[in-house]
Amino acid sequence: MSAKIIDGVAISQEILAEIREEVDQLRKAHDIVPGLVTILVGDNPASLSYVTRKIRTANELGFHEVQENCPPDISEADLLALVEKYNRDPAIHGILVQLPLPDHIDDNKVLYAIDPDKDVDGFHPVNVGRLMIGGDAVRFLPCTPAGIQELIVRTGIELSGAEVVVVGRSNIVGKPIANMLLQKNARANATVTVVHTRTRDLAAHCKRADILIVAAGVAGLVKPEWIKPGSCVIDVGVNRVGEKISAKTGKTIAILRGDVDFDAAKEIAGSITPVPGGVGPMTITMLMKNTLASCKARV
Ligand code: NAP
């Protein structure tokens, strides 16, 4: 039987509607709305496209939205001063610096300059530490892992006691999602294994996963025979495998594939995310959720 397709677009819309309602309530009750500043350096087309989508979503939700488009040759000192300006701005609850930054700027120096209480991307070491501690310590969950957890929970997949295998150990996906799902709380309580390029038998680990989360960035890495029948497969990978002309716009667009052989895997798994349309739409949504949470914390 074919797997249930976990529709990231629909779940994302559901969460955005909830956020919109909370924003209306905040406005009515406290005359305040979440404030988000997006800081973009230069004109890298991919970064510009990501930031544009974030700005559009923030505007649609009725956020106070500020854009800082900096020239590519902005000095590190000037960029740090800009971050500090928004650290002190009470109308701003979230600061997003779009990565990557130009070579003459130290990414970490800029990210670490953000007030941890406005770090809605969840990349500041203070928030990474809070995530590791868990419970009440947690302030902001990083957006892609938060989106993955939300997809699993809202699809009704049992996490408690589940064997979760995470392929990939990056700081933005693999490590945080592994940490989040092993926490002692109702949205986690899983038994988590993290595998990577030095893992001896990748297939054997994947085969025992009740929930398989793949974030390697290698198209088709996970073979159908590695998937446990009836399991939940979350494919985080986004790989450009070619180009095509869009029937809608006539423009050239990228052909994207995940890290899992979707067509074959969906005949074995119990549920699976597509690429695109699975984890991808959740990332911006969780950024908005973090900005809302930051605003509520101020109120
Ligand atoms: P990354 O920093 O390159 O990390 C990839 C991880 O996968 C590394 O830990 C690497 O192991 C492991 N890996 C790579 N090839 C492997 C193999 N053949 N066998 C086992 N492990 C392997 O990537 P990332 O930033 O986490 O992103 C991963 C993928 O998710 C990318 O396709 C990215 O575009 C996508 N992504 C999507 C979203 C979204 O919103 N949908 C957000 C973030 C990322 P080592 O540590 O041993 O090198």
Rounded mean pLDDT of 62-80? Answer: 98
Amino acid found at 52: T
Specify the residue with its C-alpha closest to ligand 1, atom 30.
Answer: 237
Quick one: pLDDT at residue 193? 98
Ligand 1 centroid – CA 30 distance (Å) = 42
pLDDT digits (tens, 9 = 90+) for 232-277: 999 999 999 999 999 889 999 999 999 999 999 999 999 999 999 9
170 lines ligand 1 (CB under 6 A): yes
What whole-number distance in Å separates Cα of residue 113 and Cα of residue 105? 13
202 lines ligand 1 (CB under 6 A): yes
Written as six digits, the tokens of 285 are 């949504």
User: Is residue 125 over pLDDT 80?
Assistant: yes
Q: How confident is the model at residue 143 (pLDDT cuts 50, 70, 90)?
A: very high
What whole-number distance in Å separates Cα of residue 74 and Cα of residue 38? 16
Rounded mean pLDDT of 19-23? Answer: 98
CA 112 to chain centre: 19
Contact at 8 Å (CB) between 288 and 12? no
Quick one: pLDDT at residue 116? 98
Specify the residue with its C-alpha closest to ligand 1, atom 41.
Answer: 280
CA dihedral angle for residue 176, residue 180, residue 183, residue 189, rounded to 10 degrees: -130
236 lines ligand 1 (CB under 6 A): yes
Q: How confident is the model at residue 119 (pLDDT cuts 50, 70, 90)?
A: very high
The residue count of the chain comes to: 299
User: Is residue 59 over pLDDT 90?
Assistant: yes
> Strand 163-167 vs strand 211-214: parallel, antiparallel, or unpaired?
parallel
Q: How confident is the model at residue 18 (pLDDT cuts 50, 70, 90)?
A: very high
Specify the residue with its C-alpha closest to ligand 1, atom 48.
Answer: 197
Which CA distances in Å does 131 have to 30, 136, 175? 29, 10, 11
Percent of the chain past pLDDT 70, that is, above it, reads 100
Quick one: pLDDT at residue 22? 98
Quick one: pLDDT at residue 178? 98
Rounded mean pLDDT of 66-85? Answer: 98
**Which DSSP helix (H) or strand (E) runs through 255?**
strand 252-257
Helix axes 8-30, 143-154, angle to 10 degrees: 110
Quick one: pLDDT at residue 80? 98
User: Is residue 41 over pLDDT 80?
Assistant: yes
Active site amino acids = 54, 98, 121
User: Is residue 126 over pLDDT 90?
Assistant: yes
Q: What is the mean pLDDT of the chain?
A: 97
Lowest mean pLDDT among 45-49, 101-105, 225-229, 230-234: 45-49
167 lines ligand 1 (CB under 6 A): yes
Is the sign of the CA dihedral 112, 282, 214, 157 positive or negative?
Answer: positive
Ligand 1 centroid – CA 127 distance (Å) = 21
Rounded mean pLDDT of 112-128? Answer: 98
Tell me the best of 123, 143, 238 to mutate to test the pocket of ligand 1, counting ligand atoms within 8 Å of each CB and taking the most. Answer: 238
Q: How confident is the model at residue 71 (pLDDT cuts 50, 70, 90)?
A: very high
User: Is residue 1 over pLDDT 90?
Assistant: no
67 lines ligand 1 (CB under 6 A): no
Distance spanning both ends of the chain, measured CA to CA: 49
Quick one: pLDDT at residue 293? 98
**Which DSSP helix (H) or strand (E) runs through 154?**
helix 143-154
Q: In sequence order, which residues have a C-beta less than 8 Å from that of residue 172 and are 6 or more positions away?
A: 123, 142, 144, 145
Contact at 8 Å (CB) between 236 and 213? yes
CB atoms under 10 Å from CB of 295, counted, come to 24
pLDDT digits (tens, 9 = 90+) for 168-213: 999 999 999 999 999 999 999 999 999 999 999 999 999 999 999 9
